[in-house]
Amino acid sequence: MAEQRAAPETEEDEALDSRRVTAIMSAVEADDSIRLTALLAPLHAADIADLLEQIGPAERRDFLRLYAAEIDGEILSEIDDSIREEVIAALPREVVAEAVRELDTDDVVDILEDLEAPQQAIILRALEDSDRVAVEQALAYPEYTAGRLMQREVVVAPEHWTVGETIDHLRGAEWLPDQFYHVILVNPRMNPVGYVTLGRLLSSRRETRLREIAEESFRSVKATEEESDVAYMFNQYHLISCPVVDANDRLVGVITIDDAMNVLDEEHEEDMLRLAGVGDESSISDGVLDTVKSRIPWLLVNLVTANLAAFVISLFETSISQLVALAALMPIVASMGGNAGTQSLTVAVRALATRDLTGSNALRVVRREAGVGLINGAVFALIIGAVGWGVFGSPALGAVLGAALIVNLLIAALAGTIVPLLLDRMGLDPALASGTFVTTMTDVFGFFAFLGLATVVLL
């Protein structure tokens, strides 16, 4: 179990490097459980979870067969959702039961959310009655809300208590959470009215009233509030923990900074994956079929939008046949526009996620991006215009190429900002569809501007 893993003597001893991974897998192949346990002893639970994610399904089953008895709650909570169900299914029930008993309710809820009903039932049966009721109540809240994110283990004290009374109460308590940052102050109706940090509690005189040393940063959230809003609040107001209340403002749990930061990490990862069009739940441990299923829809969408660009090109088939150089230069305009659009889009989606881009400053940001697009377009128009003139010996062709580049970089900058803003205003995830729209617009407008100008000026 976790207590049996000895503390490492040096940073090198605890590193999950390629040499250690090779040694671990050699121990697995040799069916040497003693050697395997010794190699894993210095590692953090997160490193062991990473190892499970890096190896293949067959190797994972062999690994778990040898190491199952050492899998504890900390390792189980660190394992990625994509393989957690597989790992739990491979473990003996008594190991799973013992592991989940070590966890706080929020970690148990996080594990249960992604499991099928039979495995959920196994874990719920392993919990003590009070913990099982707390977990079931948390699962009753909608997914991705504060009620799912919170832990039920809370340290509370009446607001009229003194520091001395509180410390005596904590010392005499039969059970306290392994980690907590605040003592939450409540009134007789169990409404949270403030909190006191442990540092202030230990540094104040015994006769001091708790309300006198309560933190000014106190805030509470409804259990039904979106977890993304909660994570934003933690980040915006530098919170360490935050009480969660029900519809009657009664205290039902607490959210801590580690859980809030996990939500932010997941949001950022999800946005990055969606921008790349690979699905918001893709993982390196996914199999071939799962990966194909997550990527095919976006490739189909791109295929449809690519046909739009092809249609625009077909409108100028005669111009291209008369001046073959146009075919060679078209990719330059499209590529520059696509890259510029991606730059603006990435900045806009990130700013929307952090709520730095709002209705109040949207116009200013759009104007700024338009200015950036024009200036970048002018700079690169001079460069590529000179290249077009020098390579093909036609100043008019260089001028057309430069003008098309200015138009497309302006379109790219505007589209990269306006498209995610419009999608956000419509209640859609900007990261989900913005990339496809922006790429389509830069391709279509880029080809149309370049081939249209070439037809008018050169032919």
pLDDT, tens digit, for every residue of 278-329? 555 555 555 677 666 766 766 777 777 778 878 888 888 888 887 878 888 8
pLDDT, tens digit, for every residue of 251-279? 999 999 988 888 887 776 666 666 655 55
Helix (H, G, I), strand (E, B) or coil at 75: helix
The residue extents of the domains of the chain are 2-140, 156-257, 288-458
pLDDT at 100: 84
pLDDT, tens digit, for every residue of 228-246? 889 889 988 889 999 999 9
Classify domain 156-257 at the CATH topology level.
CBS-domain (3.10.580)
d(CA 398, CA 214): 69
pLDDT at 280: 53
> Superfamily for 288-458?
SLC41 divalent cation transporters, integral membrane domain (1.10.357.20)
Which range of 41-50, 156-165, 172-181 scores highest in mean pLDDT? It is: 156-165
Query: Are the C-beta atoms of residues 221 and 146 closer than 8 Å to each other?
Result: yes
195 confidence band (pLDDT: 50, 70, 90): very high
Query: Are the C-beta atoms of residues 403 and 453 closer than 8 Å to each other?
Result: yes
56 to each of 60, 61, 147, how far by Cα in Å? 6, 9, 35
pLDDT at 10: 45
Task: Calculate mean pLDDT across residues 207-225.
Answer: 93
Name every residue whose Cβ is closer than 8 Å to that of residue 326 and which is 6 or more positions away in sequence: 316, 319, 320, 450, 451, 454
For 426-458, what is the HEC assignment? CCCCHHHHHHHHHHHHHHHHHHHHHHHHHHHHH
pLDDT at 225: 93
pLDDT at 158: 95
Closest CA to 330 of 442, 459, 415, 457: 442
pLDDT at 14: 61
CB atoms within 10 A of CB 237: 10
pLDDT at 409: 92
Q: Look up residue 339 and give its two tokens.
A: 């890259």
Query: Are the C-beta atoms of residues 50 and 16 closer than 8 Å to each other?
Result: yes
d(CA 207, CA 209): 6
pLDDT, tens digit, for every residue of 343-359? 888 888 878 877 788 87
pLDDT, tens digit, for every residue of 22-55? 999 999 999 999 999 999 989 999 899 999 988 8
Burial environment of residue 317 by CB neighbours within 10 A (0 to 12, 13 to 18, 19 or more): exposed
pLDDT at 274: 62
pLDDT at 270: 67
Q: Of the ranges 95-99, 198-202, 302-306, which one carries the lowest mean pLDDT score?
A: 302-306
List alpha helices for 224-324, DSSP H.
Answer: 227-237, 257-275, 288-315, 317-322
d(CA 342, CA 420): 12
d(CA 364, CA 369): 9
Write the Ramachandran bin of 214: left for phi over 0, alpha for psi from -120 to 50, otherwise beta.
Answer: beta
pLDDT at 3: 42
Element (H, E) at 377: helix 362-392
Q: Span 2-140: which CATH code?
A: 1.25.60.10
d(CA 54, CA 33): 20
